[in-house]
Structure 1
Amino acid sequence: MGKIDRYSRQILFQPIGEEGQQLLASKRVLIVGMGALGTVLANHLVRAGVGHVRFADRDYVEKSNLQRQMLFDEDDVSEALPKAIAAQKRLQKINSDVTVEGIVTDVTLQNIAELMEGVDLVLDGTDNFQTRFLINDACYKNGIPFVYGGAVSSRGMSAIFIPGVTPCLRCFIGGGNTTGQTCDTIGVISPVIDIVASFQTIEALKYLTNNHDVQRKSLITFDLWKHHIYEMKFTKSKENCPTCSLHEYPALQGDVEQSVTSLCGRETVQINMGQKLNLDDWADRLSKIGEVTKTPFLIRVQLSEGERLVLFPDGRTLIQGTEDISRAKSLYARYIGL
């Protein structure tokens, strides 16, 4: 009776019903990114009763996140909790019926297959097209649908891409290294996040409950501030698309993931040399060169030069306070060692 009570209003919605609710309980999803979009997605899917909700994020909670990242609070900021851990703790209190799995990691070529193992659907909570094309290619290679979403300023967009049914993201919008405006450079208002993630969640619920006949076959875009909305209808896959036509999956090619990445608009460079870091050892070493803050999940050290190092046990180091890759590599070599 308890489970029926929990989902009673959702079961009363005829397209889902008891059969759809049972289907949801049997499904597994992966959310890539636990920032603004990811937190709303996870909140909806966990409350809806999706059986296993896995998410991966590389970052930790900062005060600037609280304006739009709905699962976090000021305690998470003061404890410098990784977003995946903070979200997992909150969601486990919301619905104990669901298996909630938060993973602190950067989603890369090396681990994308493992993260996707056994899932029925992948949802986009990222903020960059490099990762989106990686997800897109991995999904199309493995026949798993990919629910795309993006938000910046007062604008948002969303679509579900289904292998064998729709063109892929790369095919539909072009496969270049798309860059441009981000939340960190021109901002974002939180209602946009909620609407984009709701569009994503609706398509996810349709797919997971086998309501494929009403699946939206378009990319929807809107500007909430200006009250503009329109759809770009899907076309056939392009014959020369390397992902959905030629099956080459360019984002999955190569043996070594780029180890140095400038995080656009955040004055942060990430360096990952592929070797795990013992936080206890590094806290002791770095205490000699700056003020160290250690949590079970990361170490932060304020450098006399003005920048800050943040070390994670999976081998990643963030150099905060610069977007200059040469400068970041110099500091990394000086204090961590290349």
Structure 2
Amino acid sequence: MENGLQRYSRQILFGPIGVDGQKKLMNSRAVIVGMGALGTVIANHLVRSGVGAIRIIDRDFVEVSNLQRQSLYDEEDANNGYPKVIAAKKKLEKINSTISVEAVIADLNLDNAEDLLASFDVIVDGTDNFSTRYLINDVAIKYNIPWVYGGAVSSRGMFTSIIPGKTPCYRCIFPQVPLGLGETCDTVGVLSPLTDIIGSYEAMEAIKILVDAKTNPHLEQIDIWHHTNFQMDISNGRNESCPACVGHKYEFLDRSSEQQVIFSTLCGRDTVQINPRLKNEINLEKMAKRLRNSGDVKGNPYLLRFSPNEDLTLSVFKDGRVLIHGTDDPVKAKSYYTKYIGT
């Protein structure tokens, strides 16, 4: 066996991959969006499997609360406040020095998504919010790039592969962006074994795509606490009126679209306003009930004020508008919005 293949000998022994599949992996390019719990698992597997070039994208830094489930980081990373992609790159290069790992510290948005994603053979979802997934979906369809969706919160997770032109796209499966009541790891928690499982499934689907093998035709859903799993066959689930994969209207890449959210800094107030163009009334009572697990909540019939700590307050209005008090940085505000509001 060639010297460059020896480290992958056990993977090559698996018939559906073999030498030809391994060479395809070594000549492939993958991009992982999000280097949290899912992203670290995905990156670990793809690096060990020998995917030749991997770009990792994340806007955040390592915190102690990440260490329970984000498997590439340690206490030194958290104490130093390293950006996640920098800490991950250092670990991944120690695992496999023969491949290229590119770290990008960025908030994926409509201004940079095409530049950051368009040149890859597969996109893998390590994110924690819906809006970024719709953005990934638009880029994937526009540039005909397969991508793997995965999500995990509490004890429940799901994943599927999306192949433009062959499978339903993400927007076929989830036509509407959930507004205001989505559970997040910061409001209901998440179990570490769950993120390992879902991230591993995502990595396996990415490897299948890269070696031209058949991907899973299901939307797989599991609950590791209540011992349940469910397979939904989505192979015939394409929505013939889908604006994305049928109409080729990329609303999450279109600055004028109603799907966009406007982030604006309020002068002199250390506050960022987040204002969805598409107005939908939020049930403030339900949101208050969910947020009480994560901080202090006060409200009235018109708005609620949520404070996860003494330095930060979110004012949530019934029309979906949110004021993030305690920062003038739109990227940080978006991160808080994703953590606590959900999308």
Query: What TM-score do you get using the length of structure 1 for normalisation?
Result: 0.78
User: What is the rounded CA distance, in whole Å, between the counterparts of 2:324 and 2:125 in structure 1?
Assistant: 31
Cα drift, residue 239 of structure 1: 1.6
CA RMSD of superposed structures (Å): 2.3
1:332 aligned partner = 328
Q: How does 1:137-152 map to 2 (within 5 A)?
A: 137-152=138-153
User: What is the rounded CA distance, in whole Å, between the counterparts of 1:260 and 1:40 in structure 2?
Assistant: 34
Q: Structure 1 residues 189, 327: CA separation in 2 closer, same or farther (over 3 Å shift)?
A: closer
Cα drift, residue 236 of structure 1: 3.6
1:34-53 CA-partner distances (Å, limit 9, x unpaired): 00000000000000000001
Cα drift, residue 271 of structure 1: 8.0
1:51-106 CA-partner distances (Å, limit 9, x unpaired): 00101100000000000000000000111000011001110111011100111010
Q: Say whether residues 1:185 and 2:184 are aligned partners.
A: no
Cα drift, residue 270 of structure 1: 7.0
1:227 aligned partner = 227
Structure 1: stretches of 5+ with no match in the other structure: 262-268, 273-304, 308-320, 334-338
User: What is the rounded CA distance, in whole Å, between the counterparts of 1:4 and 1:54 in structure 2?
Assistant: 22
Conserved 8 A contact 1:222-1:230: yes
Structure 2: stretches of 5+ with no match in the other structure: 266-270, 275-308, 316-321, 330-343
Q: Say whether residues 1:4 and 2:8 are aligned partners.
A: no
Q: How does 1:275-286 map to 2 (within 5 A)?
A: none
Q: How does 1:30-179 map to 2 (within 5 A)?
A: 30-178=31-179, 179=181
Counterpart code for 1:8: S
User: What is the rounded CA distance, in whole Å, between the counterparts of 1:211 and 1:257 in structure 2?
Assistant: 38
Counterpart code for 1:196: I
Cα drift, residue 177 of structure 1: 3.4
- Aligned to 1:56, the other structure's residue is in SS state strand
Cα drift, residue 33 of structure 1: 0.3
Q: Say whether residues 1:217 and 2:213 are aligned partners.
A: no
Conserved 8 A contact 1:61-1:82: yes
Counterpart code for 1:322: T
User: What is the rounded CA distance, in whole Å, between the counterparts of 1:146 and 1:223 in structure 2?
Assistant: 23
Query: What TM-score do you get using the length of structure 2 for normalisation?
Result: 0.77
Cα drift, residue 240 of structure 1: 1.1
Cα drift, residue 231 of structure 1: 0.8
1:259-299 CA-partner distances (Å, limit 9, x unpaired): 359xxxxxxx8789xxxxxxxxxxxxxxxxxxxxxxxxxxx
1:293 aligned partner = none
User: What is the rounded CA distance, in whole Å, between the counterparts of 1:158 and 1:35 in structure 2?
Assistant: 16
Number of residue equivalences? 279
Q: Identity of aligned pairs, percent?
A: 47
Say which structure, 1 or 2, has more relative contact order (CA 8 Å, 6+ apart): 2
Q: How does 1:244-263 map to 2 (within 5 A)?
A: 244-254=245-255, 258-259=262-263
Q: Structure 1 residues 120, 2: CA separation in 2 closer, same or farther (over 3 Å shift)?
A: same
Cα drift, residue 174 of structure 1: 1.8
Conserved 8 A contact 1:30-1:116: yes
